Structure 1
């Protein structure tokens, strides 16, 4: 078990204020490698000449992967990352793909296991000649790069023209307190992820646009990647068969766990990812071309879609619905977009974007924002629209967050956002909306404000019912990291209070994503996707919430679920065997994330009967509350510590 002193040696956090990044001078540094070819010694990666490079052995006997290069900086530094320049000649041989990065203060102790933070960064880099950057914050003298694969699968070798360490200069430094959580490690991706979805097999699906780091046009293909948190492996793929650039889409997860992606750059298209076959499947074109729309799954399994004037023409983006049984889209002529428009200065192009949608009882859809006006949508027949009043004294809150943290009670937290999509100040406002019968007026209670104004943030409900809000910026401006909020906050519904947590290393603003992982940690990644803009973030950080840490920083002993059925029907009893005493159980639906929107995630607290290690819970019987599909089941002990999530499928019957 890793104690706090070990964690602090590798992950001292740096105060946000007045930070500046510099490359460390490399005079006197030495490099060693487990393999090199004569003329391509590891010292070539430190010589300041991009025309020379370290290369593992390629003549005669080729050493098997992994290849390892280690650098001794001769003194300890506060480092905030590393940049790797691939070879710059006419060959790509040796471009590093899958990798892990370790740091040490003494050259002997490199940490514990990946689950406890051995690797400050891991993942896969793209197969090109651009500079690769892995960001993190740590104190170290020694750097070690483990090259696990060649990016183009051209051979069992590795190369690097230059290795530079980056340091962050700041007036003060603070060590992480376990009571404030811990940013564990960075995951490097071969794309800048602007959208993500949690899959029932425990992996994360991510994608950008037609390019790895940019968007634009209607190219008909998308760069994707799948990250496996259990192994750290990231696998890239270019999706061409659906003829769909899936940048700026709507996303929903079906009852059977498929991910339905609609619109965006190819604004009429639908693409469906089937995790069970690892296949992308073309879906039918929508009736209305859209981009920046939101979709939500209804209680009958159909997917509701509204808004989206970013692409496919401006205005008139009324509702339509996809039927999985017939694989068809149908217009809902009376599900009107006009009542949910904001008063954005850019007009309808921005005013119908990123709706806060929640599938609810009897096929209804509740729209909580971002407009200050709330609405109910009917999905029956030709659809219908019923006003649900104003969100208290809140204004339009474009690019804010809305999270259903207690579906049984119909409770939704909203936080942040701005009156206009961009070039505007975000707000700290937060409200709790309680919805009841469809078409009724919900109650709205103003709760404590966040400490930091945020737009472009991500909100994630945790197993214990608290809500983690991370990233964003106080003055919303796409493709910038200025005014970034690096300090996340945790909302406690029991007290109505927000708690500031330990700051992240990497800004997460426009185009960032956030998801709850199966081990009850949070993935927060992406931001940018703007070509040579300088604010592309090809990575994610993993946050360990306070409920997983002891006072000394070691990992808490977690409760465990040792036996539970893999499926359960609505209204039925689920038998659970645990490895010890627990206090309560909760379901959290697997999330999808893009542009601040996650209409899939919601939490259902469960009432348990039993004792010791034998328990039973009754799953609520309303498909509008427990939307069928794939959920994490968590057991939570008396200290509030959650188990690993067991993925179970909730079926309609």
Structure 2
């Protein structure tokens, strides 16, 4: 059944996105001077709204709660301001939302039906599970006992069965599953000793990096070490991954970032074997950076990246150097298959007032070429508690930054309420292909053949056309949870008229490769992506 969330992009909407900039190394545009809050957590929904929120005990924000609902803070103060908003990307309207439990340093993911499921936090939100369903008048629903144990600085990952595993959190060396059902297993906490083994004096293993491997197991990276974990049977199936070289801590508060590089799928309906999977981890800080920053010395961040083929028989880290040191950087998979590294600082660590020298220049990384390129700088520092997500038109939405204990606009690095968009270089390197039609239009099944019609103003090099599927991720604290991209297997690309072409390809074969849910579908020609088209696989 066709989804009610699917948006048909008309010429009007295309113009509203204001594409066609001319910079060769990308450029920036201020989308909204203020959304009223600082976006500590960000998620794109399949109706092209973006949900953003911070923590509920920051103090008075700059936007009022719906119907002036108020909450009582732990110190007795009354706060009638909103700490969550919905941003409409088409008309840029901002709608205040009601979140009442404390969402400070929580986690989240998009459910198969398009609902945002969000978990944990601090104080009265430490065991909360919150849901937000995309609709014009919907608001948050909260269950303060949705988790068995408190989860602060935990990571969420969607699984092939559509449920979520919630891994770790401060003082929690275990995991559990949400949303809860009638199953007794849902109300059980499972020990994960790896999280205790990788902890150091300042817990440089919070917000562990989690990636679903194509074999259905969970790759978990914390601090410098990693395992492949069978969460169904609560056992480590692989612990022979080498320690990441360099002596750098990569997880909170020495915050680096991580992505699972695009999965390249087979070109036949019968190709069901798991593709190779490679993880990229960049940035971070020395293990003692946090303690040093508290004492007033801000150590240089790391400029190293490492690539690890997690499916290899004898995996080995392949180390590379970024052109700029970076801690608290976000890594975003672009529909072209490249990686954008954005936000962060050159010195210090995550935490209030603990970083210096904001990195204003994004860096574009091309995995095929092992090449880094420095992009045009922003004018706005985006440091601790900043976010970045890919949006439907192929740009990257950037928001947040608040390295202060509350809303403070007079500090050296003030609270930031604005939202920008960064346009990667592919938006100015030639005409974009345009998807005319797709069969099936919105609803896919696994292994299903797909036909996509597209037009191009420039004669298509049929050997340089590919199709990507990108999962919308939940971004916070420099980690985009559930970020995932597949390069679909193509059977053929054929020209049907002077400017029209048809691609015959195949949907992913199994949920281990593409968990059920919503994805953005892009046609990419000569490295230039079309507008994204929402599809759903189940």
- Which category describes the TM-score, using the shorter chain as reference length? 0.7 to 0.9
Equivalent residue of 1:389, what SS?
coil
Aligned to 1:475: 347
Shift of 1:334: 4.0
Aligned to 1:541: 420
Equivalent residue of 2:368, what SS?
coil
- 1:31-180 mapped onto 2 (5 Å cutoff): 115-116=17-18, 178-180=23-25
Aligned to 2:517: 629
Shift of 1:443: 3.7
Shift of 1:210: 1.3
> Quick one: structure 1 residues 539 and 441, their matched pair in 2 at CA, closer, same or farther if it must change by over 3 Å?
farther
Aligned to 1:184: 29
Shift of 1:336: 2.7
| Counterpart selection for 1:600 from 453, 467, 482 | 482
CA deviations 1:295-346 (Å, max 9, x no partner) are 111222221112211xxxxx34311122565488333534334356242x33
Aligned to 2:386: 512
Aligned to 1:489: 363
User: Is the 2:154–2:208 contact (alpha carbons within 8 Å) kept by the matching residues of 1?
Assistant: yes
> Quick one: structure 1 residues 218 and 293, their matched pair in 2 at CA, closer, same or farther if it must change by over 3 Å?
farther
CA distance in 2, matches of 1:457, 1:289: 27
> Quick one: structure 1 residues 577 and 596, their matched pair in 2 at CA, closer, same or farther if it must change by over 3 Å?
same
CA distance in 2, matches of 1:300, 1:417: 33
Aligned to 2:433: 559
Would you say 1:427 and 2:302 are equivalent positions?
Answer: yes
Aligned to 2:70: none
Aligned to 2:536: 649
User: Is the 2:151–2:172 contact (alpha carbons within 8 Å) kept by the matching residues of 1?
Assistant: no
Would you say 1:318 and 2:174 are equivalent positions?
Answer: yes
Aligned to 1:415: 282
CA distance in 2, matches of 1:196, 1:356: 17
CA distance in 1, matches of 2:369, 2:344: 24
User: Is the 2:173–2:192 contact (alpha carbons within 8 Å) kept by the matching residues of 1?
Assistant: no
Shift of 1:405: 2.3
User: Is the 1:308–1:352 contact (alpha carbons within 8 Å) kept by the matching residues of 2?
Assistant: no
CA deviations 1:235-288 (Å, max 9, x no partner) are 112224xxx221210112222222211111221111111124734233452122
| Counterpart selection for 2:130 from 246, 250, 271 | 271
- 1:356-395 mapped onto 2 (5 Å cutoff): 356-361=209-214, 363-369=216-222, 371-382=223-234, 384=236, 386-394=238-246, 395=248
Aligned to 1:199: 45
CA distance in 1, matches of 2:385, 2:59: 11
CA distance in 1, matches of 2:59, 2:280: 32
Aligned to 2:318: 445
CA distance in 2, matches of 1:536, 1:252: 26
C-alpha RMSD over aligned residues: 2.8
Shift of 1:113: 6.3
CA deviations 1:591-622 (Å, max 9, x no partner) are 11001111211111112223122222112213
> Quick one: structure 1 residues 318 and 637, their matched pair in 2 at CA, closer, same or farther if it must change by over 3 Å?
same
Aligned to 1:531: 406
Equivalent residue of 1:192, what SS?
coil
CA distance in 1, matches of 2:27, 2:183: 44
Shift of 1:465: 0.8
| Counterpart selection for 1:289 from 144, 150, 165 | 150
Equivalent residue of 2:479, what SS?
coil
Aligned to 2:112: 255
Equivalent residue of 1:456, what SS?
coil
Would you say 1:577 and 2:453 are equivalent positions?
Answer: yes
> Quick one: structure 1 residues 352 and 482, their matched pair in 2 at CA, closer, same or farther if it must change by over 3 Å?
closer
Counting matched residue pairs gives: 461
Please list every run of 5 or more consecutive structure 1 residues that lacks an aligned counterpart in the other structure: 1-111, 119-175, 310-314, 551-555
CA deviations 1:399-427 (Å, max 9, x no partner) are 10101121243122110011347324320
User: Is the 1:299–1:360 contact (alpha carbons within 8 Å) kept by the matching residues of 2?
Assistant: no
CA deviations 1:88-117 (Å, max 9, x no partner) are xxxxxxxxxxxxxxxxxxxxxxxx965338
Q: What's the TM-score, normalizing by structure 1?
A: 0.66
CA distance in 2, matches of 1:200, 1:524: 18
